[in-house]
């Protein structure tokens, strides 16, 4: 189950609006004050008019820099005490932590982030249109953020995947996992000879072409396809994009995983075309399915279903709302020479289908639930919670209570090893799941 995306849109000006304090229960303007010891308000002789006194602190700071002769060095200056998360190496700077932005930087620019005393904290990509004002590229003040930087980072991510030895089991891998690989907003998945790149931040957008060139050089794919079409790009103030970046897209793209073949729709499928993060969980499913009647909800292109069938499932009912996904699932079943007589595919709303199965008195030995992300932003979190609760009540809590049984946790699920989690970035642990068993 993925976590809701807490990204939300900020005012387009890019400057912190100190006049609005509704979050703290007041709408009064803060008194004008010196926002940062390194940028003192100018004296009357500087040529700045007396109207400056009426400006909010963020505008006072910017005006004082200009009055001193020029735009000044662009930088993100934090409020007093708001540097703690950066000192713990969390790579995000939220808008609420920003005192002001010096100079006139553009979206995607790399800026130094400084504490309230002017001390350097990190180099970060700036985005005035996002609740996450800055995403950290580097903690080293002397490190240049240039093409060579990205080449080093990408090469390190590729080497880390090679060290895991995952290519023995699959030709589908997550090559770059955004913040966890030190490249915020950049995801790259490999499906055989095709790379799919997804950009979700203004900083990665700025380096898009350079990144594609580096990937072409280091990976030598037939095609680099861009799937920068997620809803989160709108929240970042970025236009959606979907198309070939380098090379030509083959007529058919396939991933082979633990000996099973899966067709991948990189142009229109969910995420980048396939759920690579569930690789280990699908393999676990194969070991649990023998001689069981299995129900797979939100089955997409049949990943869990095929593993269960190969594992000896007695029957397999797979439900999804997408007819296109189910057609690919049927093709995957045929491509793997599995017994089609044990498989049933149903195009339906999962929630309605579950209620219908309940009313029909149908039961299953093994139920798989891999729901989509219900909450693209925090604003949708309440509605999403109702969706997840509905699943839990109907399948887990409701079933246990109605049957008068207890349920045990026997496995805790997470993403595969090519989706590492940075210790300082727990948000990277987005995929969590449980294998439950009826006790007694």
Report the SS3 class of residue 290.
coil
CB count within 10 Å of CB 337 equals 9
Q: 377-429 pLDDT, tens per residue?
A: 545 545 554 555 455 555 666 667 777 878 888 998 999 999 999 999 998 99
User: How many Cα atoms sit within 13 Å of 227 on the Cβ side?
Assistant: 21
CA–CA distance from 266 to each of 194, 269, 278, 362, 375 (Å)?
A: 9, 6, 17, 36, 23
Positive/negative CA dihedral, 62, 65, 69, 74: negative
The pLDDT of residue 317 is 98
Task: Return the structure tokens found at 123.
Answer: 């180099």
How much is the average pLDDT of 40-53?
Answer: 32
Report the SS3 class of residue 125.
strand
CA–CA distance from 204 to each of 116, 142, 148, 317 (Å)?
A: 27, 20, 14, 41
Residues in the chain: 440
The pLDDT of residue 21 is 33
Orientation angle between helical segments 208-219 and 147-164, nearest 10 degrees: 40
* Residue the block writes with tokens 């997804």: 198
| pLDDT tops 50 at residue 48 | no
Bridge pairing between strands 407-414 and 432-438: antiparallel
CB count within 10 Å of CB 321 equals 16
Report the SS3 class of residue 76.
strand
Q: 193-240 pLDDT, tens per residue?
A: 999 999 999 999 999 999 999 999 999 999 999 999 988 898 899 999
Task: Return the structure tokens found at 287.
Answer: 């070991």
Positive/negative CA dihedral, 29, 31, 32, 36: negative
Please report, for the chain, how many H helices and E strands are present, in that order: 12, 19
Q: 326-373 pLDDT, tens per residue?
A: 999 999 999 999 999 999 999 999 999 999 999 999 999 999 999 877
Q: How far is CA 270 from the centre of its chain?
A: 13
Contacts of 305 (CB under 8 A, 6+ apart): 294, 296, 299, 316, 318, 329, 333, 343
Task: Return the structure tokens found at 56.
Answer: 């909010």
How much is the average pLDDT of 12-19?
Answer: 37
What are the chain's domains?
22-138 (2.30.130.10), 147-247 (3.30.750.80), 274-438 (3.40.50.150)
């Amino acid at each position: 189950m993925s976590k809701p995306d807490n990204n939300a849109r900020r005012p387009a000006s890019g400057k912190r609006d100190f006049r609005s304090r509704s979050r703290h229960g007041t709408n009064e303007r803060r008194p004008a004050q010196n926002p940062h010891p390194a940028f003192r308000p100018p004296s009357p002789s500087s040529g700045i008019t007396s109207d400056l006194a009426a400006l909010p602190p963020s505008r006072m700071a910017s005006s004082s820099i200009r009055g001193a002769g020029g735009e000044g060095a662009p930088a993100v200056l934090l409020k007093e005490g708001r540097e703690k998360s950066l000192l713990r190496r969390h790579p995000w700077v939220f808008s609420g932590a920003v005192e002001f932005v010096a100079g006139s930087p553009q979206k995607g620019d790399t800026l130094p982030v400084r504490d309230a005393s002017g001390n350097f904290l990190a180099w970060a990509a700036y985005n005035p249109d996002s609740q996450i004002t800055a995403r950290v590229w580097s903690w080293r003040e002397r490190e240049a953020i240039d093409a060579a930087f990205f080449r080093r980072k990408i090469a390190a991510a590729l080497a880390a995947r090679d060290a895991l030895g995952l290519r023995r089991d699959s030709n589908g891998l997550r090559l770059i996992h955004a913040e966890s690989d030190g490249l915020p907003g950049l995801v790259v998945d490999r499906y055989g000879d095709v790379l799919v790149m997804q950009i979700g931040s203004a900083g990665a957008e700025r380096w898009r072409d350079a990144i594609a060139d580096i990937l072409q050089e280091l990976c030598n794919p037939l095609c680099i396809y861009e799937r920068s079409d997620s809803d989160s790009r709108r929240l970042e103030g970025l236009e959606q994009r979907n198309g070939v970046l380098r090379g030509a897209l083959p007529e058919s793209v396939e991933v082979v995983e633990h000996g099973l073949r899966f067709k991948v729709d990189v142009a229109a499928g969910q995420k980048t075309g396939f759920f690579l993060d569930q690789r280990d969980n699908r393999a676990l499913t194969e070991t649990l399915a023998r001689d069981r009647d299995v129900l797979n909800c939100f089955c997409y292109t049949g990943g869990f279903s095929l593993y269960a069938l190969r594992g000896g499932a007695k029957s397999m009912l797979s439900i999804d709302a997408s007819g296109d996904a189910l057609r690919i699932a049927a093709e995957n079943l045929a491509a793997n020479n599995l017994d089609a007589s044990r498989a049933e595919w149903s195009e339906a709303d999962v929630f309605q289908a579950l209620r219908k199965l309940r009313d029909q008195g149908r039961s299953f030995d093994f139920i798989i639930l891999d729901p989509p992300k219900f909450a693209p932003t925090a604003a949708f979190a309440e509605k999403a919670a109702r969706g997840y609760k509905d699943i839990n009540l109907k399948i887990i809590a409701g079933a246990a209570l109605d049957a008068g049984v207890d349920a045990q946790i026997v496995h805790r699920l997470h993403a595969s090893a090519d989706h590492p989690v940075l210790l300082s970035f727990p948000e990277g642990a987005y995929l969590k799941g449980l294998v439950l068993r009826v006790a007694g």
